Homo-oligomer: A and B are copies of this chain.
Amino acid sequence: MLKNWNKPQRPEENELEERLIEARGRLFAQQSRIKEHKLPVLILMEGWGAAGKGSVLAKVIKNIDPRFFKVATMDKPTEEEKRKPFLYRYFVRIPEAGKFMFLDGGWMDEITKDRLHEKSNEIQYKERIGSIRRFERQLTDNGYLVLKFFFHISEKEQKKRLDGLREDKNTRWRVSENDSWQNRHYHKCLEAYGQYLDDTNLPAAPWYLVDAKNKKWAELQMLEIMVNGIDTALQNHALATPLLQNTFPLEPIARLSEISLDQTMPEEEYKELLDKYQKRLGELHNELYRKKVPVIMAYEGWDAAGKGGNIKRITGALDPRGYEVHPIASPQPNEKARHYLWRFWNRLPKTGHIAIFDRTWYGRVMVERLEGFCSENDWQRAYNEINEFEHELNEWGAVILKFWVQIDKDTQLMRFQERENTPEKRWKITEEDWRNREKWDQYETAVNEMLQKTNTAYAPWHVLESNDKKYARIKALKIVIEEIEKVL
């Protein structure tokens, strides 16, 4: 779309002024409706070096109350960010409902730069295109307005601007090495940018080209596209989007009712194996750290199934500087105001570290489904969204361990009663636990569906039979060791 693009006709000066005033006014008026409709607006600004993105952005945000927007300038990834999945630094910056986020440079810049400088090959480029398309589709499917601008100037114009900046010693520093490189390789860049725009021009998140030769005109183009896009998005309410077919390799898995729960482990054998496995896991943790392999453990299971104790036996073997346990409760307001996966993206480990989640993103297809915290379309879509999320983690190189801690209904009742009757355990049992127990059958249906639909080859579920907690702990340790050994 870039090479064949004919610029829109720039209006006469007085028409331009009039339209600017109108567009600014519309944007100003839209703020409160965006807030009221809880619309999150993500604005991505890409384009040539010296195309004037920054100065147009400065103009645009003058029309918005500072409480309603944020601006992030996306430079090279920091050392910390390099130790997270590629999408991490973008995902954690998505706006909350009712607010704007402006990204000055973003994933396009990063991907095309790597490609142009041959830091990534064609296969990696395609993988990233796939990630981006999934990422942007997840945002728009979840009600985000995503507006993508590319600021375009000609080779000649860019050269003129760069030369101008270089001449003055006060502005010389603003010409980056990359800007100069870009201008020297303008046609090669044009080719790569054009292809990127074509590859990621999604119907719900299309690209908008901005003729950036003149700043006021560029501002008007951006403003008019913004206010039109916002108007369109405000018209949409509770939008249901197609359920995508799972395209990730799924493995068969037993239904909960098929799982036998009569395994036990004698105390002596337990102690011996616990000792042996924890030692081994400790060794592996060092190796993981050295080889910079990230590990993600996800625990789900019935109330009182023994998740906490199980996690303790894992962490008991680990160096506290290299892992973190994340207990997941209901989302905080700032979390609820964003894509439901946002709080998990925020809690990803660095490479070489281990993150353990006590309850997880699977809440979307269990409690949120059953309690009506999201629409049916939302949770139906979530299986695929979660497979996509875990796929990103897998491509990044993470070991993903998902545990379902299984007990039967009688065992749960026994443990609930024991908790109530033991003063020091009483805090562990609440009214809500009893209410959830009443919905056992509905949960069982939801869990079975979850297991079937998210048991991917790259992130399989492991069932821990936990009527005997000792058995379950040893089994978990064994699986953790085996899976980490496979990767190392």
Residue pair A203, B246 in contact (C-beta under 8 Å): no
Judged by a CB distance under 8 angstroms, whether A457 is at the interface is: yes
Judged by a CB distance under 8 angstroms, whether A487 is at the interface is: no
Given A228-B380, A377-B232, A377-B235, the answer on whether A204 and B8 have CB atoms closer than 8 Å is no
Residue pair A250, B8 in contact (C-beta under 8 Å): yes
Bound complex: CA A351 to CA B248 (Å): 46
Residue pair B250, A241 in contact (C-beta under 8 Å): no
Residue pair A240, B245 in contact (C-beta under 8 Å): no
A401 to chain B minimum Cβ distance, whole angstroms, is: 20
Residue pair B243, A232 in contact (C-beta under 8 Å): yes
Given A229-B242, A235-B377, A240-B235, the answer on whether A248 and B140 have CB atoms closer than 8 Å is no
Judged by a CB distance under 8 angstroms, whether A4 is at the interface is: yes
Residue pair B249, A240 in contact (C-beta under 8 Å): no
Residue pair B242, A206 in contact (C-beta under 8 Å): yes
Q: Which residues of B contact A203 (CB under 8 A)?
A: 137, 140-141, 202-204, 241-242
Residue pair A240, B232 in contact (C-beta under 8 Å): yes
Given A247-B5, A250-B6, the answer on whether A232 and B228 have CB atoms closer than 8 Å is no
Judged by a CB distance under 8 angstroms, whether A1 is at the interface is: yes
Judged by a CB distance under 8 angstroms, whether A252 is at the interface is: yes
Q: Which residues of B contact A140 (CB under 8 A)?
A: 203
Near B by CB (< 8 A), chain A positions 307-323 give none
Judged by a CB distance under 8 angstroms, whether A9 is at the interface is: yes
Judged by a CB distance under 8 angstroms, whether A239 is at the interface is: yes
A249 to chain B minimum Cβ distance, whole angstroms, is: 3
Judged by a CB distance under 8 angstroms, whether A29 is at the interface is: no
Closest to A246 in B: B8
Closest to A453 in B: B8
Judged by a CB distance under 8 angstroms, whether A87 is at the interface is: no
Judged by a CB distance under 8 angstroms, whether A209 is at the interface is: yes
Q: Which residues of B contact A239 (CB under 8 A)?
A: 236, 239
Q: Which residues of B contact A204 (CB under 8 A)?
A: 203-204, 241-242
Closest to A232 in B: B240
Of B5, B208, B241, B250, which is within 8 A of A9 by CB?
B250
Q: Which residues of B contact A243 (CB under 8 A)?
A: 228-229, 232
Bound complex: CA A242 to CA B206 (Å): 8
Judged by a CB distance under 8 angstroms, whether A225 is at the interface is: yes
Q: Which residues of B contact A328 (CB under 8 A)?
A: none
Judged by a CB distance under 8 angstroms, whether A414 is at the interface is: no
Judged by a CB distance under 8 angstroms, whether A71 is at the interface is: no
Judged by a CB distance under 8 angstroms, whether A58 is at the interface is: no
Judged by a CB distance under 8 angstroms, whether A413 is at the interface is: no
Interface string of A233-276 (1 = CB under 8 A from B): 10110111111111111111000000000000000000000000
Bound complex: CA A250 to CA B228 (Å): 20
Residue pair B6, A457 in contact (C-beta under 8 Å): yes
- What are 7 A-B interface contacts by the 8 Å CB criterion? A4-B249, A9-B251, A9-B252, A203-B242, A204-B242, A206-B244, A236-B240
Please provide the 5 A-B residue pairs with the shortest distance between their CB atoms, ordered closest to farther.
A6-B249, A235-B240, A208-B245, A9-B252, A232-B240
